[in-house]
Amino acid sequence: MKILITGGTGYIGSHTAIELINQGHDVTIVDNLINSKKTVLEQITKLTGTKPKFYHVDLTNRTATNQIFQENHFDLVIHFAGLKAVAESVEKPLLYYRNNITGTINLLEAMQANQVNNFIFSSSATVYGNPGTPKYTENLPTGQNISSPYGKTKYMIEEIMKDAAASNPNFCAIALRYFNPIGNHPSGLLGENPNGIPNNLMPIITKVYRGQISKLSVYGHDYPTPDGTCRRDYIHVVDLAKGHLAAISVLKPGFEAYNLGTGQPASVLEIIHAFEKISDQPLPHKFAPRRPGDLPEFWADPTKAIKELNWHAKLTIDDAIRDTLTFINQS
Ligand code: NAD
Ligand code: WQD
């Protein structure tokens, strides 16, 4: 298949590009490089033997986005491009709505104008808001009590996808709702390397390990969880990337959503202890107040993906930490 990956030099997009190229797909990447580097293309080339075609384009530029579709005949678009920092989205909601929503509308319009009808979107567990149960199944209501503008953009884009599918009998749309991706390619050539200060747990842990941050703040240790710290469903990014491949095979007219998670939650302290064991070093940390907006715990019910996509997460948190250490020690 000829596939356009938006945000393909980013963390999850680049790992997915590798899996797709290795399965023989013809991959083109578009990215504005706001949160990634062009050198990622060289790493993808090293790991696959193929250099993907690249467009340095911002999806909020409607004309430039449309131009990409006029120059190529894609079978499928996998849409990763977006801003994703939860706290920043609270400070700059309009930036998030413009970038994520306008960018997606430009993309969908360009697809429609050029008869491209297959669409897979990077959604998030955040669309469930605060549903009152920690185990998320796809049939829970979405859009209620979402705490950040970032999360709302994910929900709104899913709604846009549903309406687009309802208006076009040929439009095949899948939302993949990711849980907490960690780890990187086992070669260590490619990893999570955000521009600026990281927000997520594992990139912060790696900064502490490297001595770039003195201590990890554990946000809250009085939650109603087994050890008092929050629990999340951490999924290896390579498993997540493979979930996209599996989703391609079930594309059909209409809208479908799938949770991509392991189904097993782990606490912040469990992650710290696993990191200490595998790195064979203490990871300096301290308890800090709860972070506003954090839920005590949630994890995926991955049953639908297991049954319909014939996919399940195979790698462990220890694998992810080992691969993260390989990446850190090489960069
Ligand atoms: P990332 O920031 O590494 O990758 C996103 C890429 O999109 C970056 O390379 C960035 O430069 C690019 N981009 C942003 N806005 C753009 C625009 N307007 N035009 C063109 N390119 C643009 O993030 P990631 O972790 O790889 O996430 C990929 C997708 O998955 C995002 O949509 C994110 O919201 C979603 N997601 C991520 C997580 C996570 O924890 N990493 C969890 C759930 C969902
Ligand atoms: C994980 C746990 C923190 C940093 C976010 C988005 C979600 C999705 C994934 C995109 C929490 C704790 C963290 C630190 C800590 N992204 N923590 N100290 O909040 O579960 O999910 O990223 O869609 O939408 O909300 O991930 O990695 O920020 O935090 O104690 O310095 O680590 O409190 O319990 P989160 P995270």
The answer to whether 32 and 103 are in contact (CB under 8 A) is no
Given a cut of 70, is residue 195 above it in pLDDT? no
Q: What number does the ligand 2 atom closest to the CA of 125 have?
A: 24
Q: Tell me which residue has tokens 């669309």.
A: 127
For ligand 2, say whether the CB of 29 is within 6 Å of any of its atoms.
Answer: no
Task: Quote the ligand 1 centre to 208 CA distance (angstroms).
Answer: 23
For ligand 2, say whether the CB of 126 is within 6 Å of any of its atoms.
Answer: yes
- pLDDT tens-place string over residues 65-103: 999 999 999 999 999 999 999 999 999 999 999 999 999
Q: What is the pLDDT of residue 46?
A: 97
Report strand pairing: 266-267 vs 231-232: antiparallel
State pTM to two decimals: 0.98
Q: What is the pLDDT of residue 85?
A: 93
Q: How far is CA 202 from the centre of its chain?
A: 14
Tally the C-alpha atoms within 13 A of residue 271's C-alpha that lie toward its C-beta. 28
For residue 297, give the DSSP letter: B
Q: What is the pLDDT of residue 223?
A: 98
Q: Which of 61, 304, 287, 72 is nearest to 177 (CA)?
A: 304
Q: What is the pLDDT of residue 53?
A: 98
What are the φ/ψ torsions at residue 96 (nearest 5 degrees)?
-70, -40
- pLDDT tens-place string over residues 7-30: 999 999 999 999 999 999 999 999
Task: Quote the ligand 2 centre to 316 CA distance (angstroms).
Answer: 18
Residue type for 220, please? G
Q: Using CA atoms, how far apart are residues 90 and 150, in angstroms rounded to an integer?
A: 8
Indicate the pLDDT class of residue 233, thresholds 50, 70 and 90. Answer: very high
- pLDDT tens-place string over residues 265-309: 999 999 999 999 999 999 999 999 999 999 999 999 999 999 999
Domains of the chain: 2-184+234-263+303-315 (3.40.50.720)
Longest dimension (CA), the chain: 56
Using alpha carbons only, give the angle 131, 79, 100 rounded to the nearest 5 degrees.
Answer: 65
- pLDDT tens-place string over residues 133-161: 999 999 999 999 998 999 999 999 999 99
Q: What is the pLDDT of residue 292?
A: 92
Q: Using CA atoms, how far apart are residues 23 and 245, in angstroms rounded to an integer?
A: 9
Task: Quote the ligand 2 centre to 72 CA distance (angstroms).
Answer: 38
Burial of 210 (0-12, 13-18, 19+ CB in 10 A): exposed
Given a cut of 70, is residue 194 above it in pLDDT? no
Residue type for 113, please? A
For residue 38, give the DSSP letter: T
Q: Which of 14, 161, 4 is nearest to 67 (CA)?
A: 4
Q: Catalytic residue numbers?
A: 150
For ligand 1, say whether the CB of 151 is within 6 Å of any of its atoms.
Answer: no
Using alpha carbons only, give the angle 20, 73, 104 rounded to the nearest 5 degrees.
Answer: 75
Q: What is the pLDDT of residue 331?
A: 76
Q: What's the chain's average pLDDT?
A: 97
Question: Which residues have CB under 8 Å from 28's CB, separation 6+?
Answer: 2, 3, 4, 5, 52, 53, 54, 55, 68, 72, 74
Other C-beta atoms closer than 10 Å to the C-beta of 53 total 16
